[in-house]
Structure formats: C-alpha cells, structure tokens
Amino acid sequence: MTITLLKSRLTDIAQKTKIKWSVEGDENSRFFHGMLNKKRSQLNIRGVIVDRVWTENPSDVKREFFQHFRSRFDRPKESRAYVDMCYPICLSIEQHEDLERYVSKEELKRAMWDCGTDKSPGPNGFTFGFYRHFWSTMENDVFVAVNHFLTYGDIHKGCNSSFIALISKVPDANLVKDFRPISLIGSIYKIIAKILANRIVGVLGDIVNEVQSAFIGERQILDGPFILNEVLQWCKLKKKQSLIFKVDFEKAYDSVRWDFLDDILKKFGFGNKWCAWIQSCLRSSRGLRINMSKSKIMGVHVEDEKVGKDTNTGVWSCWTNIVNEIKILRRQGVNVLDVMRLKLGNGDMTTFWDDNWIGGGVLKDLYPRIYALETCKTVNVSTKLNDSSLDNSFRRRTRGGVCVVFGELGGVLGGFNSEGY
C-alpha cells in the first residue's frame, strides 16, 4: 500500500513538472535559465579517455573527436571492388524523368509543411514555424532558391552550413565512440532534402526487394530482430541446430563511402542530374571544428589537397623563407619559437591568448581550462590587462580546480614586468 502511494505521488510530481515546463519553459525567466544551465552541465563534455588515459585538455579532446569522425566519413584511400553487372530492377524512363522535374509551388509548400515547426534551427536561426507564419512574404524567394539548385545543381554558400552537436549514446559517456553527431542544418537545405525525399518515396517500392524490412511502407527496421528472436525461440523449443552469423553493425553503419553511393544510384537507373544533386548536397557541406574554434574550411567528399591548393592560389609572403627555415630547424629538434617572445609595445597588436608575449609559452596552451572559459578568444593584451577583472569575459565564474589554475595565472600576470607596455 505504501509503495503504491509513493508511486502515485511521484507520478503526480512528474506531471506537475511537465505542466510547469509547458507554462514557463518558453519565458525568459529564472526557471528557464536554471533548466538551461542544468542541461548544459549534464551534457558538457569535460574530457574523454584516450589510450586508457583521461584527457581534459580541450585541444586534445577536439583532436580526438575530429580524427575519430574523419576516419568514418573521409573517402578511404584504398581501392574497392566494383559490381560490373546490370541490376534486375531499375527505374523506368518515366520514373527517371519524374524524379528530375522542376519543382512547383504546390510541391514546395507541401515539403515545407512536412517539416516540423519548432525543431532546433541551423546557423541562420530560422525555424519552419517562422517560414510558415511569413510564407506569403517569403514564398517567392524560397521558390527561386530551390529552383536555382534544381537547375544548376549548386547550393549557395552558407545555405548548407550546419551546427554539429555530440549526443551521448550511453549514460556517463567517456569514450569518443560513445558519442554520435547530429547536425542542425539550415532551412533551405532541409526543404531541398524534403523535396528529394518525397520524390524518391514514390519509386522505392519498385526497386527495394520485398524481403527488406527497411525502406518499405508499413514496415520497420526493428522487424528483423523481432523475426530473428522468434526463430531462435523456435529452435530452442524444438531443439533444432542452427547457425547465427553476426555482423559488426556499428562498423558497417558508422562508415560512409560516397563513391559507392554514387555507383549504386546509377545502377538502379537514377539519372545524371539526380546523382549530381545528391553529390552537390554532400560537396557543399562546410563545417568548423568542435566548439566553434577557428579552423580550416573542409569540403565533404573533396580531397584536402584540392582545398589547400585552391585556398593558396596566388598567395606569396616575404615571410615564406623565414617560416621554411624555422620548420627545418624544428625537424632537427630546435624549436626557435620556444626561446622567442613578442615585444609587447602598447599591447594593441598582441593577442592575449595566442601570442607568446609573456615568455614561457602561449597562455592558451599553458592554461587550457581557463582558455576554454574565455568568450573573446582574440582579445588583445591591452584590453585584457586594463579590464577590472580577468574573468569578466568568461562564460561563467571559475569554480573547483579551475580556481586554483586561475590563481596561478593571476600570480604570473601580477609579477609581469610590463617594460615597454
């Protein structure tokens, strides 16, 4: 009786909490920011285990995540086998032409209304609820943008930008493989993807085998495990011998081979224009490294050498010879930069975190946990030292072990001889 009353009370409290969130969760209130800070604290990635060692250095953590997912989504260097045969089931000419038709305003609006209204927005900050509310004003502009893509196979720069968030697969995740990335993509790209998805739904039934449990209407991918479980139970009950073949689904699922996708589409009879649309969506993807750190722009399905060559075309600097000499000395074990520091001057042209102005190294490398709290990464020395407090530009106050490190930084700056400053 006591347990039943306790469960009823807990259920009542849970329902009241949901009601409070529905009423106050969208207001700029203390309750909203409290919930936001709690979620941020719970989901914050403080570190990961690398080679059986716990690592908290933000640069090392970001590098591990980058290398992990790059190994999954980069084009493999080795060659692969090709299937040189005609597929028994292919698209008809009518289906091929229907897939590559121009979009109408009715189809565009249907795709728009198929998308969720209040899902997390991409970098532009616009949700589909905003588009729906102002559809009469924005319809023609969106229509022109989508038809530009279907005509030229090109998405304008910025339309395919996205925020990438890491979501833990398991509670208390501490390994890189325990996280999965999700992309918060822009609205124009979502509309284009929804139009293409709605079109391909009409032909999937003709090219997907009937024994499949995925990509077929009124079936789910979980039907396979359910059927397998029934077979195993039957074998145990009837004492039948059986052989189970297990595939490493994680490795197969988390790897992408874009040239294989292109070949399969062509084998099934998809036209050159359709394949170009798909490849354009992939190649136009752009992203920055974790936590929005400044880094190189990289194309998906584009070799790094090509990106580097295009960005360096026509660029020459008088510092090239000096930099090359420094690199040669570094390969021989002599790091010239370690024994050099900038002459500070008035501090306006020297960055506080990135330049070696105090001697002993760059501050962002010496105090990575403090640097992670800084909101203005490019602040100069003059602005930082003239501020009333070093932590005024931090995203939160220091606490715990960070306070000790912050005290050490304050001691170093307090004993700094500002000659020439």
pLDDT at 294 over 50: no
Contact by Cβ (8 Å): 258, 133: no
Please classify residue 59 by burial: count the beta carbons closer than 10 Å to its beta carbon, then call 0-12 exposed, 13-18 middle and 19+ buried: middle
Distance of alpha carbon 361 from alpha carbon 341, whole angstroms: 8
Q: Which two tokens stand for residue 3?
A: 């347990």
From first CA to last CA, the distance across the chain in angstroms is 76
pLDDT at 289 over 60: no
Residue 71: alpha-carbon gap to chain centroid: 15
pLDDT at 418 over 50: no
pLDDT at 239 over 60: yes
Least confident stretch, 21-30, 159-168, 324-333: 21-30
Q: CA separation (Å) from 346 to 25, 47, 66?
A: 47, 37, 38
Contact by Cβ (8 Å): 129, 113: no
Contact by Cβ (8 Å): 161, 202: no
Distance of alpha carbon 140 from alpha carbon 111, whole angstroms: 15
Residue 295: count of CB within 10 angstroms of its CB: 12
Average of per-residue pLDDT values in the chain: 76
pLDDT at 348 over 80: no
Mean pLDDT for 176-192 is 83
| Beta strands 48-50 and 179-185, pairing class | unpaired
| Banded pLDDT at 167 (limits 50, 70, 90) | confident
Distance of alpha carbon 340 from alpha carbon 162, whole angstroms: 39
Q: Which two tokens stand for residue 302?
A: 């584009």
Q: What pLDDT digit, counting tens, does each position of 18-37 carry?
A: 666 666 666 677 777 787 78
Q: What pLDDT digit, counting tens, does each position of 127-149 carry?
A: 888 888 899 998 999 999 898 88
Q: What pLDDT digit, counting tens, does each position of 42-77 carry?
A: 777 888 888 888 888 888 888 888 888 777 776 666
Tell me the pTM: 0.56
Look at residue 295 in the predicted model and tell me its pLDDT: 42
| Banded pLDDT at 421 (limits 50, 70, 90) | very low
pLDDT at 264 over 70: yes
Mean pLDDT for 95-107 is 88
| Percent above pLDDT 90 for the chain | 2
Look at residue 298 in the predicted model and tell me its pLDDT: 46
Look at residue 107 in the predicted model and tell me its pLDDT: 92
Mean pLDDT for 364-377 is 84
| Banded pLDDT at 195 (limits 50, 70, 90) | very high
Contacts 24+ apart (CB under 8 A), 126-135: 126/187, 127/187, 128/187, 128/190, 131/187, 135/109
